[in-house]
Structure 1
Amino acid sequence: MSEALVAPLSDADATIQSMEDASPAKWHLAHTTWFWETFLLRDNAPSYRPYNAEWPFLFNSYYEAEGERIGRFSRGMLSRPALDEVLDWRAAVDDAMTPLIDSGAHDELIALGIAHEQQHIELLLTDIKHALFQNPLAPAMFDRHAVTSPPQGEMGWYTHPGGVALIGHDGADDGGFAFDNEGPRHRVLLEPFALADRLITNREWSQFIADGGYSDASLWLSDGLAWVREHGINAPLYWRNDQWFSHSGIRDRDPDAPVTHISYFEADAFATWAGARLPTEFEWEAVARGQSAPDTNGKAAPAAHDRAGGNQLTMACDPVPMGGVDLFGDCWQFTRSAYLPYPRFQPASGAVGEYNGKFMSGQFVLKGASCATMRGHSRSSYRNFFYPHQRWQFTGLRLAKDL
């Protein structure tokens, strides 16, 4: 899938970096390859030799234990190695990984490597969308998704009586892979609440704009109002009048589709305008526990198919949110919960312990997965996290209220 995503891209497309939050598509391919080479092959395959001893400096992301690296803002300056060279490196690492996979001796670390690359598949999708958006020609990357969202009726609510809820992933009960920040499982006390049974739509967001939502200071957190004024924010990212930019270029905006590419500040302001609030991550998980991600309509997995005559995956259409009553798979949903460690949380030893724990400061938790998220990451305990101003991901909102 990683390689299928770059198939429509030129070397220039795959090299550009549109902002510091986003990375070039080529860098994503190289970084995930570096991850396999560093944490699996270097440490567990004695006969393996690094493909190029200079490349770890280029493609280490944030692992302090792995030494110096280029600044994040400089990733778009890496005109070399070329895309084809990175793909050759990937092929060599794939071949070298086969004996380790067959041995069954490192399954837990391999599972982390797979989950890590799946996260970068989503980042690659959202980062290249932001990069292509900077081009005045609004170039299309994939064919247009022909399905429109069903009309959204009046909002309903999941009600919850409150009480003690078990939160977090428990390997014994939940099974399967989970990141370290999803546990340990622990108890929280919930007050009675209700969670909306659908996401906020583009139509409803247009009403918020028409009512002066972006200029009404009473709706905004202080930091959010300063952000709106400093950057001239007056609509979600990628909106252009009645249209929006997708991976298939400029298209008419579907009023019944969930609103996406909004910040925490915007989500919170809308919730206040609507007479509601954002849910906590614990409320969201208490309702979602026992539900699973949909397996249809491309939700929670970039749509792909086998290329005729070969095994390489190619994207079938652009990822777009569809709407409906599913808790998973359209867009990441902001909660009002700060991204903090759970009770008794301990990061893993070594460099892989830097994966999640050191980012537990100043960010907010999102739940629910998006139309660009790989299947397997749509589970109730999953904790995504972003800073309150960030909105280049498929981020939206679901309302909550007290009972």
Structure 2
Amino acid sequence: MNVTNRVCIIGAGTAGLCALKNSIEHGMQATAYEQCDQIGGTWVYYEPTENEEHEDDVQSSMYKDLRTNLPKEVMGFADYDFPESVKESYITCGEVLTFLQSYAKHFNLGSHIKLRHEIIRVRPRRDIWEVLIKDMATDQYFIEYFDFVFVCNGHYTKPSYPTIKDLDIYEGQRLHSHLYRTPDMFKDQNVLIIGVGPSGMDIAAHIHDSAKEVYLSHHMETNPNTDFMTNVIHKPDLERFTKTGAVFKDGSIETFTFVIFCTGYKYTFPFLSTDCGIHVDDNFVQPLYKHCININYNTMSFIGIPFNVLPSQVFDLQVRFALKFYTKQIQLPDRAEMLADLEHDLETRRSQKLPKKRAHFLGPRQFEYYNELATIADITNIKPVIQSIMRDDGCKYISRLNSFRNACYKCINDNEYIKYES
């Protein structure tokens, strides 16, 4: 067990690649373990297979022809941007995957990545981490020991479902957006979509040309802009299901043959032993310092827990934040201080009447969060121009779903950008 600064990185998607690159640059002996056969995480599109109804066997939620709902100008890393040859700002999942592959190649990460290796169990052993790993190609198990662990397994693999009365009696077909791939199966069908987050809105736009009618159930006070989809009908929350459809809370009744749950995902870490000190309660991962560092065992960090943020930029910032402590350039607050900081954050959320499942929601507060990490760890913050573009982009998938992807951004310098229509 005589190891020095060995780092285990769980996952080789956007967060894992970022953690790997930065760990190596900080002089660590880092290895990323990825259970799929290629890097890229959620950006890898897999064709549907016969057994795909088994949700736990599907690692990616990517669907065909997806275009990003964030411009590529905010999706790069602090030291590696999308190439100028990619002209559009809202790009395809394939272009994002190509970018991640080029990132890995540029920083020579390949030799540090173990594909088709599944993390079975992580547990603390005194001042070190014992990690049980399965080589999926040989069906062999082995144990490695590490000083630090970055948990980068993402949170788009375990679907979350709402509790709705009489779902068990509904005789139509149902699926979660996790399994959605193409609109073909909805040809001339009536379809209910539950949820109007980015996936719900985008899938409605994807299938409306194929479907006969699309019912979009949500609890927004103002209906999202779907005027360009004449066969999309807004409905309130469901009261209960029937055998052939549903009764909604306004008393209306509709029939449909498919229901698509666009209702989000659960944070799950099945490989963490209970003595890792991490507990997940209604998507509240606790206890974490600044949504990142395990307060009970601070040599473990979770990258990518906050949502409604700049994903890749936040991953990069969080990794650099944690590494500043792990390389002993600065000292972490003691456990009591970190717990007090967490309680202060929770009290703020309670005062805003935010439910527990939104404990890691940042939204408008994300810019304050970036400043906190940068200031505490004395690291370079996300560029002002990136934050400005994010503010401009906002939630236009709600108000301008039919046209917001026509916008193009170009960064002039670290502070300024121009915007034009493609």
Give the TM-score of the pair, scaled to structure 1: 0.26
Structure with the greater relative contact order (CA < 8 A, sep ≥ 6): 1 or 2? 1
The answer to which structure has the higher helix fraction is: 1
